[in-house]
Structure 1
């Protein structure tokens, strides 16, 4: 659960705007590269955050630090291989979040090295920027793993399309509305349980990214 003062929420706003926008743009751009112009035609191939934000998903992100944006429309009929195309488009969003998380922790480490004296001295801008990067890193890892859960309407449910046989997938998706509603109730009623599940995956990923960044920086410093 995300609780904090006004400055915490002021940090969360730009983190959300960047993270959710790039996530949805990645979906649309991947679909476009695979031959589907639907997102482009509907104005969703954009880095304008207001074209992508979903009210409920944004509120959930602020309150529980997990959420979603308005799904980018795609038409699998444009793909040469529908299952492969749908899976690639769905995976593009979480992958973009993992990439942003890596960039965030890399910049965090670099900023710490370069601005160490300013941070120790209590420089307001340096402290704010470091806090922003740390939150950016954390939110993007959580956003990636959350969206990979195989629950409608999250990306993971569409990745199943590329993994499961057609009959089993469509049988599962017949209950899409009910599964989604039950999942939302669980998220609201038992946020700590979901956080525990997500942390099981995010912690080793975060540690691996930090290890890689330390290794890269160590080679040049």
Structure 2
């Protein structure tokens, strides 16, 4: 890839990714503060300033490497916002709202990006393509981030929502999976499909669910904003 194309690709992918991840984490902090936990507030994390949330490796380097290596997926993360769920006024239910704040913010950002497509005719000609590509990538990244985080596996947001809403009989064993959550995800997303490929089977179930759900939500947002 020529140098100019590389710089362009980074500029239209990393910027939307940084914004999506930053707003996702900041939303957790804002809602946790609203419900009584000042942990993130005291550490200066209840802010939309990306410098407070960016992880040099997870937010910048990892997505750039995946992009430049033509990876079929783009992934990144920010510094997790610290939340002391026991400090919340109603720990179990408030935990649900704190967890939902991140994905909900991403859907709101995706909706704004989709609506902004209507403003492209007014953009300067020499920057219209760059703006359009940023908006398209912002739409995709935010929806993917929201859907992925709503998988019902702790420590993802969907796992914490499930723990907060399920009866104790189911919530307790699910919450005990949190230390192993990332290993479980790696197993489902990487190892299981690899084993399936060796056996001649398609075991890439989670990715298929994510692609289907992401596609439906993107089409719905385009429809709602008059772009379909």
**Structure 2 length normalisation: TM-score?**
0.79
Q: Any conservation in 2 of the 1:57–1:67 contact (CA below 8 Å)?
A: yes
Q: Provide, for residues 85-111 of structure 1, a one-character-per-residue CA deviation record: whole Å limited to 9, x for no partner.
A: 000000000000000000001112221
Matched, 1:87 2:66: no
Q: Any conservation in 2 of the 1:66–1:146 contact (CA below 8 Å)?
A: no
Counterpart Cα distance in 2 of 1:16 and 1:83: 30
Counterpart Cα distance in 1 of 2:53 and 2:172: 27
Counterpart Cα distance in 2 of 1:138 and 1:149: 17
Q: Which residue of 1 aligns with 2:226?
A: 214
Give the deviation of 1:167 after TM superposition: 4.2
5 Å matches for 1:34-183? 34-54=35-55, 57-58=58-59, 61-62=63-64, 63=66, 64-111=73-120, 113-115=121-123, 123-183=125-185
Q: How many residues align?
A: 206
Structure 1 residues 8 and 19: CA distance shift in structure 2, 3 A: same
Q: Any conservation in 1 of the 2:164–2:171 contact (CA below 8 Å)?
A: no
Q: Which residue of 1 aligns with 2:199?
A: none
**Structure 1 length normalisation: TM-score?**
0.82
Counterpart Cα distance in 2 of 1:5 and 1:195: 27
Give the deviation of 1:60 after TM superposition: 5.6
Q: Any conservation in 2 of the 1:101–1:140 contact (CA below 8 Å)?
A: yes
Q: Provide, for residues 1-57 of structure 1, a one-character-per-residue CA deviation record: whole Å limited to 9, x for no partner.
A: xxx844212211211211111111111001111121111011211222232234564
Matched, 1:199 2:207: no
Question: After the TM superposition, which of the residue ranges 126-135 and 196-205 deviates more from structure 2?
Answer: 196-205
Give the deviation of 1:61 after TM superposition: 4.7
Give the deviation of 1:78 after TM superposition: 2.9
Q: Which residue of 2 aligns with 1:21?
A: 22
User: Where in structure 1 are there 5+ consecutive unaligned residues?
Assistant: 216-221
User: Where in structure 2 are there 5+ consecutive unaligned residues?
Assistant: 67-72, 195-202
State the secondary structure of the residue aligned to 1:214: coil
Give the deviation of 1:156 after TM superposition: 0.9
Q: Which residue of 2 aligns with 1:218?
A: none
Q: Any conservation in 1 of the 2:163–2:175 contact (CA below 8 Å)?
A: no
Q: Any conservation in 2 of the 1:66–1:142 contact (CA below 8 Å)?
A: no
Q: Any conservation in 2 of the 1:86–1:158 contact (CA below 8 Å)?
A: yes
Q: Any conservation in 1 of the 2:163–2:174 contact (CA below 8 Å)?
A: no
Question: After the TM superposition, which of the residue ranges 136-145 and 45-54 deviates more from structure 2?
Answer: 45-54
